[in-house]
């Protein structure tokens, strides 16, 4: 009887789990069967959902429920706290698997090429998100002494950053935030948050629901300048063709014409302001300089030569995520992706045998979480086509226990899917003691101890 198809997936976030799900729903899963191992460098799975979504978005985090059902399948194993390539490299994976799929996502901040980025008080949004989401590999504290703050970008990450900065610590306490994050936010001095976009309302990349949620806080007064409500022919076409863009524009219009309220924290949404320079004094941020822009008829903008200086003491750059280069794989520095054709990794014009990508490392950090399903389906279809046509290599040690022995021999303290259940139970117990659903464990060693409770 032929052995099951053995596939390794590097990265146990949504993209990797969707790829595993697509494999399990394929004909290959029926005969000869599919055996899938997911490798995750953190001690917990779920990637972006756990460490990239703001804690006050439980509806998005509910995606974990669907992902959980996939990882519960007996054909799947999880090896968490395993780093690629430190603990296991590409050559090692090829020894154990017929194919390797990389779904490592994007966790770094994209560069913003303006003066002053390196000043103290200039922060990457990705770093701040990692802090308030309790990522184990970032510092436990965050400087929150600025009373006036700028956020650069008009996507959902910018909204998350602005909302967390503008809310009170007590508003966020019912969520899963760990004690160090609550303590940090309790000392937050921000009373004004300014969000800047260089184009207009029709070009904003907010999700309508995320945008409207800004106004739900009893402490946040959302303010839009009526002069920033402007559309050209290209903007009108965008609104007609894109329902979400139309809904975002409508919400912004309604906020622009209403009277200002008296909520204690003010959150300004500015459009047609292109960041030109982060201003500093003695090495610290003391302001932001922007150039006023205008629409050019196509939905794009040009500079007007008119500049304005904003009194802020901190700047958060939410201009996009960037993937990290993966050893042994080609990498396009400009796009921050691995070159591919339909998910098949391409090097020097040829497919890299048995090697695939999916998710943000494949297409870049754009779109919503659910969009990675299409990526996964395309990649898996190519993998299975290669399998059917005999284009996959043959691993030298395909037995499932071989990789376990390899990791053990290297002293890798990996945790399992059962380990996630232990960690989940520990976090829920911490939450129950405070009347919350869960309290996230931050320290890696504590995560490992909880994950390995009752094992060996």
pLDDT digits (tens, 9 = 90+) for 265-293: 999 999 999 999 999 999 999 999 999 99
290 neighbors 122 (Cβ within 8 angstroms)? no
- Using the Cα atoms of residue 45, residue 51, residue 53 and residue 59 in order, give the sign of their dihedral: positive
Fold of the domain spanning 5-107+323-414 = Rossmann fold (3.40.50)
Residue 2: band (very low, low, confident or very high) from pLDDT cuts 50, 70, 90: confident
Predicted pLDDT at 442: 97
With a cut of 90, say whether residue 246 has pLDDT above it: yes
pLDDT one-digit tens code per residue, 123-150: 999 999 999 999 999 999 999 999 999 9
pLDDT at res. 95 = 97
Query: DSSP E strands: which ranges in 81-196?
Result: 99-102, 108-109, 122-124, 148-152, 192-196
Q: How confident is the model at residue 31 (pLDDT cuts 50, 70, 90)?
A: confident
State phi, psi for 217 to the nearest 5 degrees: -75, 135
pLDDT tens digits for range 351-403: 999 999 999 999 988 766 767 888 999 999 999 999 999 999 999 999 999 99
Q: Which residues of 63-94 are buried (b: 16+ CB within 10 A; e: fewer)?
A: bbeebbebbeeeebbbbbbbebeebbebebbb
Q: Say what the pTM is.
A: 0.94
CA-CA-CA-CA dihedral for 111, 114, 117, 121, to nearest 10: -120
Average pLDDT, the chain: 94
Question: For 150-179, how does the pLDDT look when each residue is reduced to its tens digit (9 = 90+)?
Answer: 999 999 999 999 999 999 999 999 999 999
pLDDT value of position 28: 85
What is Dmax (Cα atoms) for the chain? 74
* Span 86-90, average pLDDT: 97
The helix/strand count (H/E) of the chain reads as 17, 18
Asked if residue 269 lies in contact with residue 254, where contact means CB atoms within 8 angstroms, the answer is no
Sorted by where each begins, the domain ranges of the chain are: 5-107+323-414, 110-320
| Structure confidence at residue 1 (pLDDT) | 54
Measured CA angle at 94 (ends 93, 95), to 5 deg: 90
Judged against a pLDDT cut of 80, whether residue 250 lies above it is answered with: yes
Q: Are 392 and 353 in contact (CB under 8 A)?
A: yes
Specify the CATH number of the domain 110-320. Answer: 3.50.50.60
Q: What are phi and psi of 146, to 5 degrees?
A: -75, 135
**Is the separation of the CB atoms in 255 and 215 below 8 Å?**
yes
Compute the average pLDDT of residues 76-97: 97
């Amino acid at each position: 009887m032929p052995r099951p198809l053995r596939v390794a997936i590097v990265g146990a976030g949504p993209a990797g789990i969707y790829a595993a799900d697509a494999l399990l729903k394929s004909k290959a899963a029926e005969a000869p069967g599919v055996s899938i191992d997911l490798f995750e460098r953190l001690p917990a799975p779920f990637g972006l959902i756990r460490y990239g979504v703001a804690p006050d978005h439980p509806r998005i985090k509910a995606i974990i429920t669907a992902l959980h059902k996939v990882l519960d399948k007996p054909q799947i194993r999880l090896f968490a706290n395993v780093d690629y390539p430190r603990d296991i490299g590409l050559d090692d994976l090829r020894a154990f698997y017929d194919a390797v799929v990389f779904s490592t996502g994007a966790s770094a901040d994209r560069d913003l090429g303006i003066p002053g980025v390196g000043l103290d008080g200039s922060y990457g949004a990705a770093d701040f998100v990692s802090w308030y989401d309790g990522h184990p590999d970032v510092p436990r504290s965050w400087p929150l002494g600025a009373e006036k703050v700028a956020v650069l970008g008009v996507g959902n990450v910018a909204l998350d950053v602005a909302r967390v900065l503008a809310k009170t610590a007590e508003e966020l306490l019912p969520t899963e935030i760990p004690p160090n994050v609550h303590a940090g936010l309790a000392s937050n001095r921000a009373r004004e948050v300014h969000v800047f976009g260089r184009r207009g309302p029709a070009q904003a990349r907010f999700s309508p629901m995320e945008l409207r949620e800004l106004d739900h806080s009893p402490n946040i007064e959302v303010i839009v300048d009526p002069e920033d409500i402007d559309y050209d022919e290209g903007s009108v076409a965008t609104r007609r063709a894109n329902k979400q863009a139309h809904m975002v524009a409508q919400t912004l219009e309604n906020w622009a014409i209403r009277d200002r309220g008296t909520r204690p924290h003010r959150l300004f949404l500015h459009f047609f302001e292109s960041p030109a320079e982060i201003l500093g004094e003695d090495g610290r941020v003391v302001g932001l300089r922007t150039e006023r822009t205008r629409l050019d008829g196509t939905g794009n903008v040009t500079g007007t030569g008119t500049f304005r200086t904003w009194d802020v003491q901190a700047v958060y750059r939410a201009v996009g995520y960037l993937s990290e280069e993966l050893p042994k794989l080609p990498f396009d520095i400009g796009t921050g992706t691995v070159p591919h054709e339909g998910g098949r990794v391409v090097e020097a014009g040829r497919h890299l045998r048995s090697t695939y990508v999916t998710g943000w490392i494949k297409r870049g950090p754009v779109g919503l979480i659910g969009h990675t399903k299409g990526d996964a389906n395309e990649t898996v279809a190519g993998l299975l086509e290669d399998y059917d046509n005999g284009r996959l290599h043959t691993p030298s040690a395909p037995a499932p226990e071989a990789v376990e022995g390899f990791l053990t021999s290297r002293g890798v303290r990996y945790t399992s899917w059962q380990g996630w259940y232990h960690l989940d139970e520990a976090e829920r117990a911490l939450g129950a003691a405070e009347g919350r659903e869960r309290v996230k464990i931050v320290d890696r060693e504590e995560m490992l101890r909880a994950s390995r409770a009752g094992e060996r």
